[in-house]
Amino acid sequence: MNIPVSQQYAIGVDIGGTNTVFGIVDHRGSILYRGAMSSRNHDTIEPYIDELYDLIIPSIESIGGIEYIRGIGIGAPNGNYYTGTIEYAPNLKWKGVVPMAELITKKFQLPCALTNDANAAAVGEMMYGAAKGMKDFIMITLGTGVGSGIVANGQLIYGHDGFAGELGHTIIIPDGRLHKGTGAKGSVEVYCSATGVKLTALELLEKNPKTNSLLTKYNKEEIDSKIVYECAVAGDKLANEVYAYTGKILGMALANFIMFSSPEAIILFGGLCKAGDLLLQPTRQHMEANLLPIFQNKVKLLFSELKEDDAAVLGASALVWELK
C-alpha cells in the first residue's frame, strides 16, 4: 500500500447481541462515519455480511475509496483472535463456529482482525483512552455481562486457544448464586453485571420484607440496574446496600486479578460505571483489603476515558493498526 499511514483509515465493527455498530476511524481515533444495523435480521451469516457491506460502502467511497482502508477490526462475543471465528456465542443468531474474519475478507477484499468485545475495548483504551502508554493493565467491562481484556508486557493475552480473559466467569463465591446462562455458581458475572445488580436488589428486598425502600414501589419484573441506581442516588438505603455489596464482590475479584498479572491499572467500562463513586468506593476498599501488602496502594482503579457510544467501534478499529 503506497498511501501513508496518516492518510489511512480503519473500519471498526462491534457486533452485539442486539445491534451491530460500525465506523470509519482515522489513525488518531476520530470517527468520521458511523452506522448501525440490527444483528438479528438474518439467520445465516452471508446475508448479514451483505447488508453490512451495502451499508459501509457509501462511507468508504466518501473517504476516497477502498484503497484508503487499511483493514477491518471486529469485536464480537466469543470472538477468537487466532482463528478469526465466532464460536458458540449464546447471544447471537448464528450457531456453532462462524468464520467471520474469512468471510469479511472475502466480501470486502480487506484484511480483518477479530477478537472478543472486551479485548477490543482494551486495545481501544490502550490506544486512545485511560490506558495510553500502559504496558500492563486489565480492562473490565461491566454491562449486561462482565467481560475482560488483559494486557501484559504491552500485549493482549489471548492464551493458547484465543479465549483468554474470561474473568467474568471466574468463581468468586463457591456454591454461590446460580448463573442461569452458564450454569456456574458464584461467578463474578452473576454479581457484578447489570443482571447481578438486579438480582442483589431482589434478594435484599426479599430478606427485608418490612423495608420502606423506594424499590418497593416497583414490580419485581420492572426493577433493573437503572432503577436501583436512581433510588440509590435519591438516598435510598437498600439501593445503596446493593452497590455496597456489588462493590464488595467486585473488589474481592479485582484483588485476585491483581495478584495474577500485577497491572498498573484496572480500567472499568460499561453501564454500571454510571454509578460512579457508589460503586468505586466499596470496590476500592475491598480490593485493597484482599491484596497482599506488596500489591497494596499501587494499582490505579480508573473509569474508561472513551465515550461509551464510541468505545466499541474505536476498540474494534484499533485492532487494524496492530495487523501485521
Q: Which stretches of the chain bind a second copy, using CB under 8 A?
A: 78, 87-88, 135-136, 150, 152-153, 155, 157-167, 169-174, 182, 184, 252, 255-257, 259-264, 290, 292-295, 298-299
Q: Which residues contact 241 (CB under 8 A, 6 or more apart)?
A: 204
Q: Which is nearer to a second copy, 47 or 154 (CB)?
A: 154
CB 70 within 8 A of CB 9: yes
DSSP at 166: -
DSSP at 182: T
Q: Which is nearer to a second copy, 53 or 88 (CB)?
A: 88
Q: Which is nearer to a second copy, 41 or 155 (CB)?
A: 155
Q: Which is nearer to a second copy, 228 or 255 (CB)?
A: 255
DSSP at 162: S
Q: For residue 289, what are the CA distances in angstroms to 192, 275, 302, 317? A: 18, 22, 18, 38
> Which grid cell sits at 240?
445503596
CB of 137 to a second copy, least distance (A): 8
Q: Which is nearer to a second copy, 170 or 211 (CB)?
A: 170
Distance CA(135)–CA(156), nearest Å, equals 10
CB 283 within 8 A of CB 188: no
CB 252 within 8 A of CB 286: yes
DSSP at 142: E
CB of 136 to a second copy, least distance (A): 4
Q: Which is nearer to a second copy, 172 or 306 (CB)?
A: 172
Q: Which is nearer to a second copy, 56 or 266 (CB)?
A: 266
Distance CA(40)–CA(305), nearest Å, equals 30
> Which grid cell sits at 161?
486457544
CB of 18 to a second copy, least distance (A): 22
CB of 259 to a second copy, least distance (A): 4
CB of 250 to a second copy, least distance (A): 13
CB of 168 to a second copy, least distance (A): 9
Distance CA(58)–CA(11), nearest Å, equals 13
CB of 134 to a second copy, least distance (A): 8
